[in-house]
């Protein structure tokens, strides 16, 4: 790819997908019958998909180099480690 290459951005398509996913989240909670575990799992997947679309397309991570990916993903890794570290103490009876 040459410097300053023309890139076509599907901004409005992403907007449509984000809107559909938001409606799907609300339907998943209030319309679709399921267990509590399924509720949380479904919402987690839908929210992660929306966050990924915003990061990849609106924040242009899809077009960036590896260094910015590291900067973006580092905090996510830390919070997973933090929650995993806290949970055993939090769950244990005292």
Of positions 4, 31, 33, 37, contacts another protein by CB under 8 A: 4
Q: Are 43 and 25 in contact (CB under 8 A)?
A: yes
Q: DSSP for 31-66?
A: TS---HHHHHHHHHHHHHHHHHHIIIIIS-GGGS-H
Nearest Cα residue to 49 out of 26, 75, 77, 17: 17
Q: Are 58 and 12 in contact (CB under 8 A)?
A: no
74 lines the binding site for another protein (CB under 8 A):
yes
5 lines the binding site for another protein (CB under 8 A):
yes
10/34 with CB nearer another protein: 10
87 lines the binding site for another protein (CB under 8 A):
yes
Of positions 7, 31, 33, 35, contacts another protein by CB under 8 A: 7
For residue 92, give the DSSP letter: S
Q: Please report, as ranges, the residues that interact with another protein according to CB under 8 A.
A: 1-16, 18-19, 22, 25-26, 29-30, 39-40, 43-44, 46-47, 50-51, 54-55, 58-60, 63-68, 71-72, 74-76, 78-79, 82-83, 86-87, 90-91
């Amino acid at each position: 790819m040459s410097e300053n290459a023309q890139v076509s951005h599907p901004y409005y398509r992403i907007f449509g997908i984000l809107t559909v996913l938001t409606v799907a989240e609300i339907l998943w909670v209030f319309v679709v019958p399921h267990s509590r575990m399924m509720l949380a799992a479904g919402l987690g997947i839908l929210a992660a998909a929306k966050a990924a679309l915003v990061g990849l397309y609106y924040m242009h991570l899809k077009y960036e180099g590896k260094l910015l990916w590291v900067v973006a993903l580092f905090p996510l890794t830390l919070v997973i480690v933090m929650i995993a570290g806290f949970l055993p103490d939090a769950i244990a009876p005292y």
